[in-house]
C-alpha cells in the first residue's frame, strides 16, 4: 500500500501536464505509446493501485524545442519533475502562469485543464507520474 510518505517522495520527482495522447487498450496493457509531433514518451513503470480502479504510471517524456502541447486534462493526479531543459510556459486553470525549469517539480489536480502555453526553445525532458482512473483515457482535449 502506498503511504503518504512514499507518495510524497514519488510525487516530488514528477512533472505536470505535458502530454496530449489518448490512452489505447495497448497503452492500458503497458505497451509503449508511439512518438508523435515532437513528443517522445517512454513508460518506465506501471502498476495497479494505489486503490482499486486506479493505475500508477511513471513516464519519461521528451519534448523537442518549439513543440507546444495542446490543452488537456487527466482523470487523476499528474506529478512532474523537469529533468533537463525547460523554459516553456505551463498554464494551469486556476493557477498563476508557470515557466517550467530544470530541477523543479509541480502537480496538476485531476480533471484540471492545463498546457497550451508558449513552447520552450530547448529540448525539455520530464519525469511524469500519473495516478489515474484505470478504465479512462489517460488524457483528453480540454
Residue carrying C-alpha cell 505551463: 90
pLDDT in tens, 57-70: 999 999 999 999 99
Complete DSSP assignment for 112-142: --B--SPPPSS-EEEEEEEEEETTS-S-EE-
pLDDT in tens, 90-103: 999 999 999 999 99
Beta bridge partners of 78: 108
Residue carrying C-alpha cell 523543479: 104
Amino acid at each position: 500500500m502506498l503511504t503518504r510518505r512514499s507518495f510524497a517522495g514519488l510525487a516530488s520527482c514528477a512533472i505536470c501536464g505535458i502530454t496530449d495522447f489518448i490512452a489505447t487498450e495497448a497503452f492500458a496493457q503497458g505497451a509503449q505509446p508511439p512518438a508523435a509531433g515532437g513528443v517522445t514518451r517512454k513508460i518506465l513503470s506501471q502498476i495497479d493501485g494505489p486503490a482499486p480502479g486506479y493505475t500508477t504510471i511513471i513516464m519519461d517524456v521528451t519534448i523537442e524545442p518549439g513543440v507546444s502541447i495542446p490543452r488537456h486534462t487527466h482523470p487523476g493526479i499528474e506529478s512532474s519533475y523537469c529533468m533537463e531543459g525547460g523554459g516553456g510556459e505551463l498554464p494551469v486553470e486556476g493557477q498563476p502562469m508557470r515557466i517550467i525549469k530544470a530541477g523543479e517539480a509541480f502537480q496538476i489536480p485531476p480533471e484540471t485543464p492545463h498546457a497550451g502555453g508558449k513552447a520552450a526553445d530547448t529540448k525539455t525532458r520530464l519525469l511524469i507520474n500519473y495516478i489515474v482512473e484505470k478504465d479512462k483515457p489517460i488524457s483528453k482535449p480540454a
